[in-house]
Each structure stands twice: as C-alpha cells, then as structure tokens.
Structure 1
Amino acid sequence: MTRSTRRTRMLQSGVAGAAALLVLSACSSSSSDGSSTAGSDTSASAAPKLSGTVTVFAAASLKESFTALGKQFEQQHPGAKVSFNFGGSDSLAASITSGAPADVFAAASPKTMAIVTDKNDADGTPVTFVRNQLEIATAPGNPDKISSLKDLTKSGLKVVLCDKTVPCGAAAQKVLEASNLKLTPVSYEQDVKSALTKVELKEADAALVYKTDVKAAADRVQGVEFPESAEAVNDYPIALLKSAPNAAAAKAFIELVTSADGQKVLTGAGFLKP
C-alpha cells in the first residue's frame, strides 16, 4: 500500500467518525428536547394550586365538624383559607338568594336547600353527605328525670324548641305530631345551638336538639334518646353555588366533605352516614 493510499483511507476514516459523532449529537439533542417537552406537558397538566378564601354557609349543627374539616383543608392547600358562616339553614338560604357572596351551602334539610335550588342559585344537584337525628338535651345529671318524649309535656317543665322554620324545629314538630303530643315551649330559637345554650345556661330544663349537638356539648348537658326520633331523621345536602367567587377551591372543599376522610370526621361527631 502506497503512502498516498494510506493517507486517503485515514482521511475517509476521520470523515466517517465525524459524521457518526454528528448523528449521536443529534440523537442526544432530540432526546433532550423530548424530555423537556414531556416535562412541560406534565407541568401544564398538573392541577392548579388552590388559593384565596372559600366562603361556606353551613347549618349551625355542622359547626364543630366543619371547623375541623376547614383546618384540614387549609393544611392540604396552604394557599387557601376557609371562612364559615354558621346559622339556621333557612336564614342562610335567604341570604344566598338575596345575593350574599358564598361558595358553598350545606343545609340541615332538603327543604331549606330547595330555597336555593328553586332560585337556580346552585351549580348542579346538591349531594346528601350526612344525616342527623334528634335527642333530648337536659342539664347534667338529668335532675328532672326525663326519660321519654312524653316527659317533656310535664307541667312546669321549661322546654326549648328550634323555630318551626329551621330543620331542627321542623323535625321536632314532626315527632311531636306523630306521637300526638303537644307542648308549649318557653321559647323558639333560630338555630339548634341557641336552643342548646338555653339548657347550658339553665334557662331551660330541656331542649330538642340533634345528637351531634349533645355530643359536642360534652359534659355541659346530658342526652336522652327517644325512639320517636327515628320518625324525623334529617338529610344534609351540600352544593356549590353558581355565583361562587372561588369555584375551584369550593369544589375541592366539597370533595373533602364527601371523601372517606371527611366522613370519618363527620361520623366521629355523631352524624349518620347518608
């Protein structure tokens, strides 16, 4: 082999090597670009971070359990806050239909939820997430020896009921009528917490409230169960509102309430599963 021939082959080999390097570089660049694109797509498809305030209008009987769920929600979504307005379901519904800014409504009965849905102020169909049952609340130790619903009709006994327009009052009227019992309360209260407070302050001897409220009051009252309460178990519906200022966070809060974790908190507070 001549010196000229060897030089020619070396040049050809060098060109081939350079070409191979160019091909490898191109493949590497393509792979890198593909990874970058995939990462970008993954980031774009990720759920947006929740922020801002979620305003929840909820029945008074949900105060303890929803407050706990609100704290849990804020821990899961550090950029979001939950603001509650607890009260009688009828007055909350009236506020919503009058334009009060709110994201979520959780009512203590389908009837009060209907005030909102009939005005087309709910976004979608409300979902029943728990149920609740009445119980008699007495002073600790049950000094008046109340053992039945009929005992509430005793002469001289001061009994408090929720107003007939709110779910706990409507349920009380239903069980009294079903039992053919009549009683004249010393007062009608606008929500269940107000009725319970009357007993706690010894301004009343007994009140018809929810089991969950008796449980939340701990040793400040004593509960007396009665079989007639099964005649008026209330379903609790929850709904996203059409005018929700923070719809994304509101949907996430409703998802928490209806999730297994949410149900654990609610049943732990004494609510019944739907």
Structure 2
Amino acid sequence: MFNLVRAYLYKTTKSKIFWVLLALTTCSATAMFSIAYGIGNNSINESISNVGFLLSDMNTMSIVGAVLATTLICSDFDTKNIHHPIISGFARIQIVISKAIVFWILLIVLVSPYIIVTIIGLSMDSTFSMGGKAAGFLSILTSTTSGSFGEYVTIMCTMTIVYLAQLTTCILLAFALRKSVLVVAAYYMMSMFFGQVASFQDSFEMIDKVLSFTPYSAEYLTINLSMSKGDIISAVSICIIFIVVIIYLTFMTFRKAEIK
C-alpha cells in the first residue's frame, strides 16, 4: 500500500491544479491576515470584513478540498487509471485508504498558509478583528483570549483535524459521483447548508443537535482558547469516529461499484 500512496502523491503533486490550489490558499490567507490586521488596528473600514471572511479558511477550504478530491480521485475514473491498481492485485480498501492518506497529507499542505499567518499573528503584539465574523483559524487569530504556546498548538492541531474530518466527505462524494463538477457542487452546497445551520442554530435546533455529533457542529467552526480540555477531546474523538465511518462508507460504495 505504501507504493500506492507514493504513486498517488507523486501524480497529484505533479498536477498543475494542486499548485494552483496552493497559490489560492496562500493568497487568500495573506489577504485575510492583512484585512484582519487592518480592521483590528482601525486602518481599514470594518465594512470590508465580508471580503475578509470570504477569504477565510472556512470558505476557501470547502472549495479547495472538493477540487483536490476530484484531482486525486475523479480524474482516475475519467482516464480509466482506476483499473491499474485493481489489475495489479490491490484490494479496493487499500485503494480507498491510500487515496485518503494522500488527500489528508495534501490538505495539510494546502491549509498550511492559514496556519502560518495565524502563528505570525499570534506572535505579534497587535489586535486582529473581522467585525465579529470569524470561524476556523480566523477565530483563533481574532480571539481576545491569550494562552501559552502549547495551548495554541493544541487548538490549531484540533482545528486541522476538524478540517480533515469535514473534507473527508469529499472522498465519499468523489467515489460515489465520479464527476468533478458534481462533487464540487455537492460539497459546496453542503458546506453552505451547514454554515447556515451554524449561523441560525436556534432556528434549526433538531438539525444542530444531530450535527453536534459530527465535525460540522457550529461549536467546532469557532474553536478557540475558550474551549475546555474536555471539549477538545470530544471534538477530536468525534472527528476520528466520523473519518472511520466515512472511509467505511466509501469502501462499501467502491466495492459494490462496477468499474467500466
């Protein structure tokens, strides 16, 4: 399986799409950081906060994760390359897990610009703000609560795990739908729906309660130092369980699928 992981990693990193995605997250993270810094220091009008939030990791990673899944998975169905590992004797569960491992590795690379600007911001003696609109790493950057280096590392690692769990859904969609346009559209609509539920959770109490057992919970979209150790452990546990369930469903979908 190691050879599969290495092959998929090499193939995807050679794709121009991956480097375009990395450039996108780098530019978006830099712009988000600049806007949050400007608003926090009153050099930029707060009215531009909508643009800053649009460029935040929560919005950008929804698109980036879906596109990455199509590059890694859907392209193999389009070119029929999905046949090669099967003919070579690899089990379908090995293919799914190998794809997932590469997907997670590359997601960490793609989200790293947001991690870097967050670390830079936390090390500065400056105020960052987005006018009350903050989620993901943006919520960590704009938080007024201070903590130790270890606490910040824990929070950022937890936020990364939440993203990996959320975007693992793209793997299931890619194996089920197989078409790039459908995967990107389906996941973006899902992320918009979950975002609306998070924004108006009092109006969607039942749905919000169900989502509390998934990484899409409103509580996990705004992780910061105010969370207790118990909440962090709960978040990580739910994410790991969610990932295992999604990978199992993906395997079941792929196992029953006819490869033409």
Q: TM-score interval w.r.t. the shorter chain?
A: under 0.3
Larger radius of gyration: 1
Higher strand share: 1
Higher helix share: 2
